[in-house]
Amino acid sequence: MKLDIRKHLLIASTALIACVPAAFAQGVLDNYTPVTPELLANPPKGDWLQWRGNYSNTGFSELDQINKETVKDLELAWAWPMADVGIQETVPLIHDGVMFLQTSDGIVEALDAKSGDLLWTYRHILPQLNSTWSYQANQARRQKNSIALAGDKIILTTPDAKLVALEAKTGKIAWEKQVLDWKKGYSYTVGALIVDDKIISAISGCSIAGTAGGCYIMAHDLNSGEELWRFNTINDPENPEQQESWGEVPPENRWGGTPWTTGSYDPELGLTYWGVGMPGPYAELIRGSGDGSVLYTNSTLALDVNTGKLKWYYQHLPRDNWDLDSPFERILVDQEVDGETHKMLISVPGKNGIAFALDRETGEYLWSKETVFQNVVSKIDDDGTVHINEDLVPTAVGQPVHVCTSVSGGKLWQVGSYSPLTQTYYVPLTEACNEVTPTQSEFTAGNAVGSVKFGPRVLPEGQDNAGLFEALSVNTTQGDHLWQHRQREAPTSSVLATAGGLVFGGDAARYIKAFDDKTGDVLWQQRLNAPVGGSPVTYEVDGEQYLVVPTGYSNSASSIASAFPETPLPNGNGNSIFVFKLKTEAE
């Protein structure tokens, strides 16, 4: 039996365009200009050109029309339903008054960012999968921020492991490239990073039975799709320490090491920074790696952007036995101390919720700070060596261990933001624990090799609130709690910090909230149709600032919903965007 993972194919021919009348599309598209390397390096404050707004992945906007005084006057300007169902983790991109919205199953839409009118739609034709390939089918429905703007093109990464370049003005295919073999299980779930004439991308599906031996960060030529370099996150023959860290496990029997989140880039150093996820199978008892640290899983990698060569690495969680992967955002922060610029990388990279600061030139460990309750890391030495709680390493198949945080807790894909105005890192977090039990299972095509059973998610002892919005004051020597906002429901969206002194974030209770960036006070909130998801972003058109908020189905909400049963989740999908602006005097 075959399963068409594009269940809602609405076009009659190849994956091209669903056009709307030219009267809508003309004008705003006529004024669209190329997104040059100079624009990506110095984005106009009224646009949102990249996943987190800039190469540093700060998630910060310089717009301040919507601020602490005016935020109370926000009202709905327009809304739009997304083109397909699935897990909602999207990030709208905006340039020259055009909004590009990517949704699950490789669908891209262009909208007039002022009016909400549809300009064009592209629907990628996906192959049929066998109905037993459940994990691989799910990959198509969990797309994250999977477009990038470059020149007059949009770069789409697809669930069937292709790069597709679309014409920004029409949505027509300029070129496409099959990067890896989807039949083995490879797919894309995150978008690319554009650096000059290169597309830097990271593949997913590395925990599927057919993809043993390789998980990759890659560079391709922007104009042709030709591969320029690739780096294997679980097999680095140039580093004997990396090879030894897998014990007796040869490369062809290694899984995991997925770079689940789009990297950042320092043009001055010529380095791109990527986080890497957990090893597979999840328990070392099953994967056969003994007490090896299994590099480069749960690590930060600094790669030369021109060659793909490794400059340095730092491992945040060695010997992961619990699927507490650490692949999330790496934020680049510059701070002046006594006239000297300190180039830092900050992150809450993984599910154990520990914040880290590294020197991004050398990879030197600077400091770490715990946020949510966790019991897997016992200590971190002054040199940054991380020690795990060995009492939580299962020694037999079927032996459960109680782990905090959980596979659904701590820091997930929801992205934090950094404000240079407050020198604070704002992070959405979830308190949760679960039992983890290693199992002996058959590896089958299209399915994950986790070999583990997770128990129900529960709150840590003595904790009544699943949700935490954390504000960490950041400097070169420490991170400190500026404020914490605890609430029953878990955060389900990334957060956005702005020059208006606000931090926007959403939750499972369907609220988008604006926090005071210095105190954590909630200055405005609006309840929407579904859990807030993806990444709220802000932009400006014709002198007016807009706030766009994605909503929809959320794994982050459903996995911990038992912790707040008084807040029922919607039965429907609800994938949409809501766009707000300030009331005008005429209104």
In the prediction, which pLDDT does 586 show? 53
Give residue 557's pLDDT.
87
User: Looking at the domain assignment, is residue 542 inside a domain?
Assistant: yes
As a whole number of angstroms, the distance between CA 431 and CA 464 comes to 9
Q: Are 113 and 105 a contacting pair, CB within 8 Å?
A: no
Domain presence at residue 69: yes
Give the domain CATH number at 435: 2.140.10.10
3-state DSSP percent of the chain in helix, strand and coil, to 5: 10, 40, 55
What pLDDT, in 10s, does the model give residues 281-335?
A: 999 999 999 999 999 999 999 999 999 999 999 999 999 999 999 999 999 999 9
Whether omega before 570 lies within 30 degrees of 0, making that bond cis, reads: no
pTM to 2 decimals? Answer: 0.95
Q: Within a domain: residue 171?
A: yes
Asked if residues 530 and 570 have their Cβ atoms less than 8 Å apart, the reply is: yes
Query: Is 212 contained in some domain?
Result: yes
| Domain contains 437 | yes
Per the domain annotation, does 587 fall within a domain? no
Write down the residue that tokens 């529960």 correspond to. 458
Strands (DSSP E) found in 104-197: 107-112, 118-123, 128-130, 147-150, 153-157, 162-167, 173-178, 193-195
Cβ neighbours for 339, distance < 8 A, ≥ 6 positions apart: none
CA distance 386 to 308: 26
CB atoms within 10 A of CB 93: 26
- The phi-psi region of residue 205 (left if phi > 0; otherwise alpha if psi is between -120 and 50; otherwise beta) is left
Nearest to 527 by CA among 512, 517, 540: 512
**Both tokens of residue 249?**
């496990």
Q: pLDDT value at position 15?
A: 44
Give kind and range of the element (H or E) at residue 41: helix 37-41
Judge whether 337 lies within some domain.
yes
Per the structure, how many domains does the chain have? Answer: 1
Those residues of the chain that have pLDDT short of 70 are 1-26, 585-587
283: left (phi over 0), alpha (psi -120 to 50) or beta: beta
Which among 217, 258, 4 is positioned nearest to 124, based on CA atoms? 4
* Three-state DSSP class for residue 182: helix
pLDDT score at 5: 42
Q: Is residue 207 part of a domain?
A: yes
Q: What is the per-residue pLDDT for 25?
A: 54
Report d(CA 5, CA 126) in Å as an integer: 7
Q: Closest Cα partner for 350 from 390, 380, 322?
A: 322
